Amino acid sequence: MGCARVREHFGRFGRLRILVIGRANAGKTTLLQRICNTTEFPEIFNAKGEKRGDHDIENELIFKSNPGVIFHDSQGFESGSLSEWELVRRFIMARAVEKEFEKQIHVIWFCIPLSESERPIVAAEERFFESTAGNVPVITVLTKADTLQGRAIGQLRDEGMQMKEAFSRAGELAKQILIEARAKIESLLSGCKYPPKAYVTMASKYSLPFVWGLTSHSTGMN
């Protein structure tokens, strides 16, 4: 499979509109760049098509490399204030009743960073999964899996292993840490009223299997 196939898959649905949710430093921008196979930042437009420099949930984020996908970014969601949560909820509900397909939110990508094992799920995130997103499917994207390699090396060093050996064995331990972290997150969210439709782990670099898997889940073609 290639980039053309991914673009063709997205193109079957017209312009796909995606809401990306996640706490600060959850790797949302990196995720979007990886999906669009670019290192550039998106252009930001308001509802009138005018360029903007600020992030607002109503503004559209569009990458030149993939103009067929429109992203919306929820800002400050992780702070947990009711006003910010209500802003996100109202946006989702308003888009759910839009008559034009292209103006609806077609999928929500909910980013959870694997770099924060001490608090994999925060209160604001639990609140989201206890509330309905209408008929919009929610995909949980586990980001920052690449940080687990460093954590594995540190753990092995703490156990007394020499750096060279720790470095050579860290890969397998990182895989195990990932399995356990993912299982913990799935267990926490499965008990919520509206758990995610699917879980996808973000690759450490541009990866067509990752992109294809996420887009397939997002468009109901998995």
60-63 and 66-73 strand pairing: antiparallel
pLDDT at 192 over 90: yes
pLDDT at 196 over 90: yes
What is 3-218's CATH topology?
Answer: Rossmann fold (3.40.50)
Which residue stretches of 19-60 are H helix? 28-35
Looking at residue 204, its pLDDT comes to 62
pLDDT at 89 over 80: yes
Closest C-alpha among 136, 111, 162, 124 to residue 219: 136
Looking at residue 76, its pLDDT comes to 61
- Reported as a single tens digit per residue, the pLDDT across 17-70 is 999 998 888 889 888 988 888 889 999 988 777 776 667 899 999 999 888 889
- What's the pTM? 0.84
- Burial code (b: 16+ CB inside 10 Å, e: under 16) for 181-215 equals bbeebeebbeebeeebbbbbbbbeeeeeebbbbbb
Tell the residue number behind the tokens 């999906």, with chain if given.
Answer: 35
First to last CA, the chain: 15
Report how far residue 92's alpha carbon sits from residue 95's, in angstroms, rounded to the nearest whole number.
Answer: 5
Show me where the domains of the chain are located: 3-218
Closest C-alpha among 211, 208, 201, 207 to residue 175: 201
Report how far residue 214's alpha carbon sits from residue 216's, in angstroms, rounded to the nearest whole number.
Answer: 5
